Chain A
């Protein structure tokens, strides 16, 4: 009995560790994306980000004239145009040398039908995402049974009431911001005593988290509703569509979204400012939940886009998308163009950059294979010449 329970707890620990290690990667990429886009422009990219946002502010809309893509945070820092040219130079001989490796378009990289068929097979086995969540559920149950201090009670009811309050509070966010005042107003709207705000120990952070969760559910629904449309799109368009529909959910709250970000990333802000006052204030640490939610969102987008990979790419894809998403989210804050056209074109450019970068990497690996093959032939022939007997 004891051994079985210890082995099961070991399994839970191991699965948690596995999940953690993956999430940490997300955390890193997401934070890198955030810090890079928010702080780097001042030091490294003075021109690109500022010039773009500046232009938008003055309403000189220039969607068509691309001033050169902004280096995509977390992937490369050198001037992108130079990378592109090099990529082109490398690409041509490889493409000509290896017919089957011809420069595949982005569109054919993951074909929708291919994604769908592999998705069916993968879902029966359990994708890495599904697997980790089921382990997570197991892991979450066990400790709660052991060291929960709460007495038993009708929990489902409680969740509903709390969610009602948060949902009602969202209506007050555009006016009152992500504050306790909005939550109090939300409680009044639902006819509950505002004392219920005491049931949210991390205060307004839980409101932001609720919004993030809720939006992700909506995104999943929307992706489900537009399945047909999505399957007719190429991969980049699918990703762009999903990111765009997710970001559109933030439009009602855009004037207060900077505040939401500051709540979500309060730890990053604290470290960045290195302010003793901030550190001493009993600020609840919201960062872990924030990053987890963002990681899951990236996973959801890739999932909805039909990605079923489970190799190393699985991590890089989500990390890169995390960067694209965060950069666009920040760009959106200062976008005053009608219907956020600037933001969507910014998003398209970022995705294009990411795909270009990926192609560059692929082509580099093909080159390495080619060189390796060439070397192999040389050595082979050299050896053959050394031993004329043909041993």
Chain B
């Protein structure tokens, strides 16, 4: 493990050895934390520490790192979801409320357009619930503060709750939509989280996952690697005062399964009609699946 830690990162993530080792170790109760191998029970705490330390600067950092593009990606995620009045939606790892606010906005503006009277019945609107679930109370606090700023603090549709993506406190078949934006990477057992998503969704419900993914194009890939391993940790140090958290961020992106592999994992969890859409050549991908 110390060997992995001291190897030059650029070499390490290319030769994939770390990934093989990681897979072997994960059977013995060890999982990856960036390029490091840590005991499974440790990862949750360590990820928690990361987000606790960056929560206050999280949005600013997102804007700087993605050049503001993360807003467009989230817009796209919500437009793919096509929220409707009366929807029961669960947004996991959405502590800052970015996705939840967009969904609520989409439902309310659509409500105003009124759908020729059919969905204008107010009870459907009152039934709308967007559950924002995050394992980290610090992130939820940020989200609630932002809801206050947006005038959504009293909004009955927004429900803030702390919860683990691997063990949701929802009943089987209780939500219409499930989104997880930039979150599944930090979950210790991705398969477990996917199973859980499948469990809580209604038949016909949709699973959408927005996640930083893998770039395929050769030259762009090199540029992207240079940017993520040299520039992002420095920005993290400058802006958020935390280099290690952002080092973890870029490393965890490299450890995350490729688009195809992740799509396979989603299908294995029981979803059908699984597809994905790449953005900026694969820097980000939206995976989609349905439960029937």
Contacts and interface: CB of A to CB of B under 8 A. Distances in A.
Interface string B250-276: 000000000010011011000111111
B203 interface: yes
A188 to B, nearest CB: 9
B82 interface: yes
B206 A198 contact: yes
B87 to A, nearest CB: 7
A192 B260 CA distance: 28
Contacts of A198: 80-82, 206, 288, 290
Given A149-B276, A161-B292, A192 B271 contact: no
Nearest to A155: B272
A191 interface: yes
Contact of A151 (B87, B205, B266): B266
A61 B282 CA distance: 65
Interface in B184-214: 201-206
Contact of B272 (A154, A181, A187): A154
Nearest to B177: A195
Contact of B273 (A158, A176, A193): A158
A158 B271 CA distance: 10
B273 A153 contact: yes
B118 interface: yes
B171 to A, nearest CB: 14
B274 A199 contact: no
Interface string A359-383: 0000000000000000000000000
B264 A151 contact: yes
B176 interface: yes
B79 to A, nearest CB: 10
B271 A196 contact: no
Interface string B73-84: 000000011101
Contacts of B177: 193, 195
B217 interface: no
B205 A181 contact: no
A381 B278 CA distance: 80
B204 A193 contact: yes
A162 to B, nearest CB: 9
Contacts of B275: 149-151
Contacts, number: 94
B176 A176 contact: no
A150 B86 CA distance: 30
A197 interface: yes
Interface in A140-165: 149-155, 157-158, 161, 165
A161 B204 contact: yes
A193 B116 contact: no
B65 to A, nearest CB: 27
B188 to A, nearest CB: 23
B292 A193 contact: no
A151 B203 CA distance: 19
Contacts of A80: none
Contacts of B82: 180, 195, 197-198
Contacts of A157: 272, 292
B116 A153 contact: no
B204 A151 contact: no
Contacts of A161: 203-204, 292
B205 A184 contact: no
Interface in A174-223: 175-177, 179-181, 184-185, 187, 190-199
A192 B203 contact: yes
Contacts of A191: 203
A362 B224 CA distance: 70
B205 A195 contact: yes
Nearest to B208: A198
A27 B84 CA distance: 37
Given A149-B275, A158-B273, A195 B204 contact: yes
A187 B177 CA distance: 14
A151 B118 contact: no
B138 interface: no
Contacts of A195: 81-82, 84, 87, 176-177, 202, 204-206, 290
Nearest to B275: A150
Contact of B203 (A153, A177, A193): A193
B119 interface: yes
B205 A193 contact: yes
Nearest to B264: A151
27 contacts: A149-B276, A151-B267, A152-B264, A153-B272, A153-B273, A153-B274, A154-B272, A157-B272, A158-B272, A158-B273, A161-B203, A165-B204, A176-B115, A176-B118, A179-B116, A181-B115, A181-B116, A181-B118, A187-B204, A193-B176, A193-B201, A195-B205, A195-B290, A196-B206, A196-B290, A197-B84, A198-B81
Interface of A: 149-155, 157-158, 161, 165, 175-177, 179-181, 184-185, 187, 190-199
A-B residue pairs, 6 tightest by C-beta: A192-B204, A196-B204, A193-B204, A151-B267, A193-B202, A153-B272
Given A193-B203, A197-B84, 18 more contacts: A149-B275, A150-B274, A153-B274, A175-B118, A176-B118, A177-B116, A181-B115, A181-B116, A193-B176, A193-B201, A193-B205, A194-B84, A194-B87, A195-B176, A195-B177, A195-B202, A195-B205, A198-B82
